[in-house]
Structure 1
Amino acid sequence: MSFIPPRAALARSRTRPAVRRSRHPTRRAKHLGVVAALALLALPAAPALAETYHFTSPNFTSAYIGAPGPTGAYTSSMRVTGSFTTAAPLPANMPLTPIGPGASPVRVTSWSFFDGVRTYTSADSALLYGLPAQFAVATDATGQIVGHEIDLIQPPPPHVLNQVVASLALNGTRTLVVGDSVCQAVSATPPVICTSVRQMGALESAQGPGGGTWSVTADPASVPTLSLASLAALGAALAGVAAASRRRRAG
């Protein structure tokens, strides 16, 4: 049995606690990193992408093309173009379903359609007759629009009898725009909206084939990102790992 001098034994006894102290913060840092990472996974990310669906109709082909009207004349080189935006992508394989005002849920957040003479936006137009079915679309297996029924009236309510209004109708059968329809009936309760329009005798109108083409773009401003809380958790996890690495090197 070898003899250990008192001083050497004392030195050894002093070094043991130091080794334990250097390992303890490392375990704590690792624990912090694990907790922060778990918190990161539990925290929600940003909302789903907003998307904008763009539309182009066939050119106008008949009706009162070229006739004088209160705003201007339509021509055969004109067509309806426009778009609407949703807070999240439309679901796939959706049958013709209302998605605008009055629908459940309301998916459309805004719209804008130009018929060659005037523009219908969500700020200055409303659904024709106030019916949710007047803003409906259908989608295929990829979520692309394959069917639509969009009918708008301008200006929005309140309306009065015999008021001159403009209307736009888009569906699979025809594309129709009328700049000088006449409101011939209104609802009895607010919002007082035109429930019937007379288009016969209109001098500013055009129509063309139904259908049209749709395309979709994602809103780059709404690309899903980690929330501020998630980023903070990630920072804490990285800080814990860095602290552990520094202590290991120091030990």
Structure 2
Amino acid sequence: MKSALKKSAAAAAMFFAAIGTVHAATYSAATTGHYTTKNDFTVCNGGPCQNYTTAMIPSGSFTTAAPLAANLSNAPIAAQITSFSFNDGINTYANTNPNVRLFQATVSTSATGSITSSNIFLELWQTGTAPHAIGDKIGLMQIGATVDAYNTLNCTSIGTGPTGATDSCVAAPSFIGASYANAAPWSWALITPSTPTATPVPSTSALGLLVLSALLGWAGLAISRRNRNA
């Protein structure tokens, strides 16, 4: 009998583990467009100076440990992001690059968990080494009400970003030698899983019935076998 109960407990544990399984979710730019406005640098003031073109199309995606919750309102999600990769046409911002900082990441979502707006701010140190110093060059990419990209900005203050990312540039007002481009905002699509559907979870009473049924089944089987062997 004890052995049967142990087996039923193991079966119940497997059941609870199965219903509690969550899957990573990847969100990607669904609709993007070419840069519509840009400002070129005039004199390169250090760093990898390069101008954006209107032929360039910014793109990118990020992955979270589980699908984003529904009805978020400008909520911070940096702690949920496990990986990301964005490209502004000149620079690539990826979590695998030690010179990249996820400076800010907030989103709002619909009742189904789809992203309705975002404010994702990425930085790329282009000169210097950590810990960085005032005067080091950075690239910036911001995905919000519009998509904005900057190359070889002059950083004027070092600190910690809203996400907790240390060694971040917290002020870069100097545009000397920098280039800039702007594109219309993009919409987000959940590509893994394919649709933002909530995972159904049985009610407590339903779970209780399932576990009770499993216990009774194992116990009955054990008694039946014992009677046959008597």
The partner residue of 2:191 within 214, 217, 228 is 217
The partner residue of 1:143 within 104, 113, 118 is 113
Q: Contact 1:180 / 1:199 at 8 angstroms: preserved in 2?
A: no
Q: Which moved more, 1:174-183 or 1:44-53?
A: 44-53
Aligned to 1:115: 88
How far 1:38 sits from its partner (Å)? 4.7
- C-alpha distance in structure 2 between counterparts of 1:143 and 1:75, whole Å: 34
The partner residue of 2:159 within 182, 187, 200 is 187
Alpha-carbon displacement from aligned partner over 1:95-153 (angstroms, at most 9, x marks no partner): 111111xxxxx11111110111111011321133xxxxx21111101111101001111
Which consecutive residues of structure 1, in runs of 5 or more, have no partner in the other structure?
1-27, 101-105, 129-133, 225-233
- C-alpha distance in structure 1 between counterparts of 2:142 and 2:74, whole Å: 16
Q: Contact 1:53 / 1:85 at 8 angstroms: preserved in 2?
A: yes
2:63 maps to 1:93: no
Aligned to 1:165: 138
Report SS of the residue matched to 2:172: strand
- C-alpha distance in structure 1 between counterparts of 2:43 and 2:89, whole Å: 14
How far 1:94 sits from its partner (Å)? 0.9
Once the two structures are superposed, the pairs formed by residues 202-241 of structure 1 within 5 Å of their partners are: 202-209=177-184, 211-218=185-192
- TM-score between both structures, scaled by the size of structure 1: 0.63
- C-alpha distance in structure 2 between counterparts of 1:137 and 1:197, whole Å: 24
How far 1:186 sits from its partner (Å)? 2.1
Q: Contact 2:52 / 2:90 at 8 angstroms: preserved in 1?
A: yes
How far 1:74 sits from its partner (Å)? 1.8
Question: Which residue identity lines up with residue 123 of structure 1 in the other structure?
Answer: T
The partner residue of 1:77 within 55, 61, 66 is 55
Higher relative strand content: 2
Higher relative helix content: 1
Report SS of the residue matched to 2:7: helix
Q: Contact 2:101 / 2:122 at 8 angstroms: preserved in 1?
A: yes
- C-alpha distance in structure 2 between counterparts of 1:215 and 1:157, whole Å: 35
How far 1:213 sits from its partner (Å)? 1.5
Q: Contact 1:127 / 1:151 at 8 angstroms: preserved in 2?
A: yes
Aligned to 2:123: 153
- C-alpha distance in structure 1 between counterparts of 2:130 and 2:188, whole Å: 29
How far 1:78 sits from its partner (Å)? 1.6
- C-alpha distance in structure 2 between counterparts of 1:157 and 1:108, whole Å: 23
Which consecutive residues of structure 2, in runs of 5 or more, have no partner in the other structure?
200-213
- C-alpha distance in structure 2 between counterparts of 1:201 and 1:182, whole Å: 7
- TM-score between both structures, scaled by the size of structure 2: 0.68
Q: Contact 2:138 / 2:154 at 8 angstroms: preserved in 1?
A: yes
Q: Contact 1:53 / 1:84 at 8 angstroms: preserved in 2?
A: yes
Report SS of the residue matched to 2:155: strand
Question: Which residue identity lines up with residue 147 of structure 1 in the other structure?
Answer: S
- C-alpha distance in structure 2 between counterparts of 1:78 and 1:35, whole Å: 62
Q: Once superposed, what is the RMSD of the aligned Cα atoms?
A: 3.7
Question: Which residue identity lines up with residue 117 of structure 2 in the other structure?
Answer: G
